[in-house]
Structure 1
Amino acid sequence: MTEPVRWMSIGEFARAARLTIKALRYYDREGLLVPARVDPGTGYRFYTPAQLATALRIGLLRRADVSIAAIRVILHDPTRGSEVLAAERARIEREAARAARSFALVDTLGATVATDLPVAVHRIPDRRVLWREATAAAEALEHAAAEAIEAVLARARRLGLDTTAPVVGRYPAALDGEVSFGVGVEIAPGAPVDTGTGSEVVTLPGGVFAGVDFTGAPALLPVAYHALFARLADDGVPVEGAVREYYLADPAEVGEDEMLTRVVHLVPDDYRPGWVRS
């Protein structure tokens, strides 16, 4: 004789699984743990004891900060479990290292903000660059830009170009949502480039730029942006369009804390810092 199914209310199931009712409803919406039965009249959710193992597994994975998307794959395709968990472990380790770095930077932030960063005018000529366009979520821009720079430098090495030439990044002045950006390495005037890569070679237009030179970790670059944007605002120059970052030192040689970055923004040809335009 078949044993009757033992139905557990959402409250009873939540207590047994050491989860909140809110979490169970969320996991239902995400398709991770769907109730075994929903009363058509009341909408009450019911679970079975057999579902406790899945609930406990989800709870443990969430406590380990494994993403919902990864958990979905683990539950629906167990053959990929090891692969997905390895990727999640690597992501969590990267985020932990980034957090540790941020804590360390807090100690230097006060002194960095207090540093007087002068704004200078730079006349930059048109330059051919080996260029790479990309997009990223605003909060992941620093990591995405670093990956794009590595990719464009690897491409430059394969083409036999000078990878000690200046590297430049172009970013939107305002960061919000998904952002488009580009990075490139300058090509020496007259240097031949395989015509098969024509789509990757662009001319970055020159002009007059106001800029701030900043020595320090990339995570602290907002300090340079603040100094530059505040100066332009005081001088009545609108901040719009793209901002460029010129990387003037190789972090592999000088270390991240000694990186020299020049942040520049296009300004009128007759601009001088401290002069308010009418």
Structure 2
Amino acid sequence: MASSLAIGDFSRATHLNIKTLRHYHRIGLLAPARVDPDTGHRRYGTDQIPVAQIIRRFRALDMPLDEIHAIIVTGDPVARNRLIAAHRRRLETALARTQKAVASLRDLLEPPRDGAAASIQHRRMPATSSAAVSGTIDLADATGWYQGALGELHASLAAQKISATGPGGAIYSNRLFTQARGDVTVFVPCDGAFSATGRAEPFVVPEADLAVAEHRGPHTGEIDRAYGSLATYVADHALGIDGPIREYYVIGAHETADERQWRTEIGWPIFNTGSAGT
């Protein structure tokens, strides 16, 4: 029979403080070997020290208590390893998210890289026949939504043996930015008569005069700098008019999985003066 320790000695042995040990007892994660019915004093077996150490190490890795309990009570090593592997994947995902956040902070502290904010041009975009998917979305979902819609459109065009005549794009309502929820139309220009299928429908992209800036790279990170440069240019030249923002995905996920190669043109609606910006 294993020797026992008072809760204070068990706390010193395991580096779990008394408050934590009492909490683990209440939730059934680590019950003491014996509780004195008269005094309520808890005593733990020395054979519980390895279990307590495992709990402490998993908590240091931010594993939820219910998952730690499942690992401890299961006698199936395959199930135990599956739980540990699932938490490892969550940690890896969190690490990747942290690394992106650090890179974004670094970008804010460093001057823009060469080519990060390309020259701004004026363009008249003619009315264009296209296939399109429209919807009302949250701003936080915009990247995943437009990529899914573009994939659906390219698949629909291929099924109807219709060729795209230019890069895909999207028209973003002002409410999407001002209210964090609004209408979006994702389109792919095409020749031939496109027939509605699923969410995809024929659509004519309206004619527009735009001030256009190019962003290179993924849509996380520095794309806000391109938007900021474009807004500053339009304001400085008193060119802005009401109308939705457009993006054209010159090189995007459909062309390459390497986000560093992506090229996105951002179009801000303007009053056409007949002169090109620089």
- So what's the TM-score if we normalise by structure 1? 0.59
8 A Cα contact 2:214 2:265, kept in partner: yes
Structure 1 counterpart SS, 2:251 = coil
Structure 2 counterpart SS, 1:192 = coil
Alignment CA distance shift 1:196-1:266 (3 Å): same
> Which AA in structure 2 matches 1:216?
G
Residue 65 of structure 1: how far off its partner (Å): 8.0
**What is the rounded CA distance, in whole Å, between the counterparts of 2:182 and 2:157 in structure 1?**
25
Structure 1 counterpart SS, 2:119 = coil
8 A Cα contact 1:128 1:202, kept in partner: yes
**2:247 equivalent among 232, 240, 245:** 245
Aligned length: 217
Answer yes or no: is 1:178 the counterpart of 2:181. Answer: yes
Aligned to 2:102: 103
> Which AA in structure 2 matches 1:180?
D
Aligned to 2:208: 207
**What is the rounded CA distance, in whole Å, between the counterparts of 2:138 and 2:224 in structure 1?**
17
Answer yes or no: is 1:230 the counterpart of 2:239. Answer: no
Structure 1 counterpart SS, 2:188 = strand
Alignment CA distance shift 1:139-1:89 (3 Å): farther
**What is the rounded CA distance, in whole Å, between the counterparts of 2:150 and 2:92 in structure 1?**
22
Q: Deviations over 1:17-39 (max 9, x none)?
A: 36xxxxxxxxxxxxxxxxxxxxx
8 A Cα contact 1:166 1:247, kept in partner: yes
Structure 1 counterpart SS, 2:163 = coil
Aligned to 2:259: 256
**What is the rounded CA distance, in whole Å, between the counterparts of 2:88 and 2:242 in structure 1?**
39
**What is the rounded CA distance, in whole Å, between the counterparts of 1:212 and 1:192 in structure 2?**
31
Answer yes or no: is 1:17 the counterpart of 2:16. Answer: no
> Which AA in structure 2 matches 1:178?
R
Alignment CA distance shift 1:222-1:198 (3 Å): closer
> Which AA in structure 2 matches 1:243?
I
Aligned 1:59-78 pairs, distance under 5 A:
63-64=62-63
Alignment CA distance shift 1:89-1:172 (3 Å): farther
Alignment CA distance shift 1:200-1:233 (3 Å): same
8 A Cα contact 1:129 1:204, kept in partner: yes
Residue 214 of structure 1: how far off its partner (Å): 2.2
8 A Cα contact 1:165 1:186, kept in partner: yes
Aligned to 1:187: 190
**What is the rounded CA distance, in whole Å, between the counterparts of 1:195 and 1:178 in structure 2?**
26
**What is the rounded CA distance, in whole Å, between the counterparts of 2:215 and 2:203 in structure 1?**
27
8 A Cα contact 2:252 2:264, kept in partner: no
Aligned 1:159-174 pairs, distance under 5 A:
159-163=160-164, 165-173=166-174, 174=177
Bigger shift: residues 236-245 or 192-201: 192-201
**What is the rounded CA distance, in whole Å, between the counterparts of 2:153 and 2:87 in structure 1?**
27
8 A Cα contact 2:150 2:186, kept in partner: yes
**What is the rounded CA distance, in whole Å, between the counterparts of 2:127 and 2:178 in structure 1?**
26
Alignment CA distance shift 1:179-1:95 (3 Å): farther
**What is the rounded CA distance, in whole Å, between the counterparts of 1:139 and 1:250 in structure 2?**
19
Residue 140 of structure 1: how far off its partner (Å): 3.0
Aligned to 1:6: none
**What is the rounded CA distance, in whole Å, between the counterparts of 1:92 and 1:131 in structure 2?**
38
Q: Structure 1: 5+ residue runs without aligned partners?
A: 1-11, 19-48, 72-85
8 A Cα contact 1:134 1:148, kept in partner: no
Q: Computing the radius of gyration over CA atoms, which structure comes out larger, 1 or 2?
A: 2
Aligned to 1:38: none
> Which AA in structure 2 matches 1:103?
V
**What is the rounded CA distance, in whole Å, between the counterparts of 1:156 and 1:162 in structure 2?**
7
Residue 160 of structure 1: how far off its partner (Å): 2.0
